[in-house]
Amino acid sequence: MANEQHEGGITRRDWMKWSASGLAVATAVGGQSSFAAKEKAGPVATNQRIKQSLVNWCYNKAWPDVDEYAQVAAKLGCQSIELIDPKHWPTLKKHGLTCAIANCHGFPIGFNNRDQWDECLAKLRLRIGQCKEFGVKSVITFTGMANGLSKEEGAKNCVEGLKLIAGEAEKNDVVVCLEMLNTRDDTHRMKGHPGYQGDDCDYCIDILKAVGSSHVKLLFDIYHVQIMNGDVIRRIQQHKDWIGHIHTAGNPGRGELDNTQEINYPAVMQALLDVGYKGYVGQEFIPTRDPWEGLAEAVALCDV
């Protein structure tokens, strides 16, 4: 998946208005671009009440060497690099990290299309086995594209298909997380997903309730939920028992969590703590400027 760079960003003065921890980060990094210079700034996350993770596809072009990438994550105070190939899991472990959620089949296919079940099930079974062996606790899945299916038929197929993997997930204590994605943004293939069937939070929750497994839950992506549904904090409160993983990004644009976007991330993080959420929060924004600075700001902001 592509990690494209864009122009734009906020000033240091803007960020210092956001949080005192942001001031500490800005002062420590001193505007330098190398990791060696910036490592003196960490760890950024000090409260550690929210377990944070870096989503691999967003930042692996900035740090293609996995050893260095893992050092960046650790120095930020993150505990995971997620959606990264299992061949890299031993490197993460060497640096005291885990993979919070494993990748699997991509979002264009999923359980709403019955003729895609075999592929989804084969890939999920392989990944669940790898997760069990290495101690990774979650794996991602998708509804897939609508491909002419009605919402009702797609939901029925998802329920039946997910029930086929639920028992194996339970047996291996690995949570399968169904991700809801937005279909409104058509400007970039990773900012929105026109044609994706699971584009409504409540629709996905209804599927999960019908599956009825403690190990089939929702990947609650705050960015996507904000675009399609809004009312993010109330939805966290209502669906707390079905949330298996969290992703972030600024809206609009899927950029940094700065003051160019509309989501109040400290309040959302506090809502997660208030409902007793114990899982990970994956930083999944597309960098528009220096990746370290954007991540340091985002991690500090979410470290409530």
83-139 tens-digit pLDDT: 999 999 999 999 999 999 999 999 999 999 999 999 999 999 999 999 999 999 999
- Going by the DSSP 8-state scheme, the letter that residue 53 receives in this structure is E
pLDDT digits (tens, 9 = 90+) for 269-293: 999 999 999 999 999 999 999 999 9
Closest to 177 (Cα-Cα) out of 136, 117, 122? 136
pLDDT score for 17: 34
pLDDT score for 272: 98
pLDDT at 5 over 90: no
Write down the CATH superfamily of domain 45-302: Divalent-metal-dependent TIM barrel enzymes (3.20.20.150)
Q: What is the mean pLDDT of residues 159-166?
A: 98
Q: How far apart are CA 38 and CA 175, in angstroms?
A: 35
- Percentage of residues of the chain with pLDDT beyond 90: 86
Map out the domains of the chain as residue ranges: 45-302
pLDDT digits (tens, 9 = 90+) for 183-232: 999 999 999 999 999 999 999 999 999 999 999 999 999 999 999 999 99
pLDDT at 35 over 70: no
pLDDT at 57 over 80: yes
pTM of the model: 0.87
Backbone angles phi, psi at 244, to 5 degrees: -105, -20
pLDDT score for 204: 98
pLDDT score for 28: 34
Contact 285, 298 (CB under 8 A): yes
Name residue 52's beta-bridge partners.
281
Residue 196, Cβ neighbours under 10 Å: how many?
Answer: 22
Residue 129, Cβ neighbours under 10 Å: how many?
Answer: 13
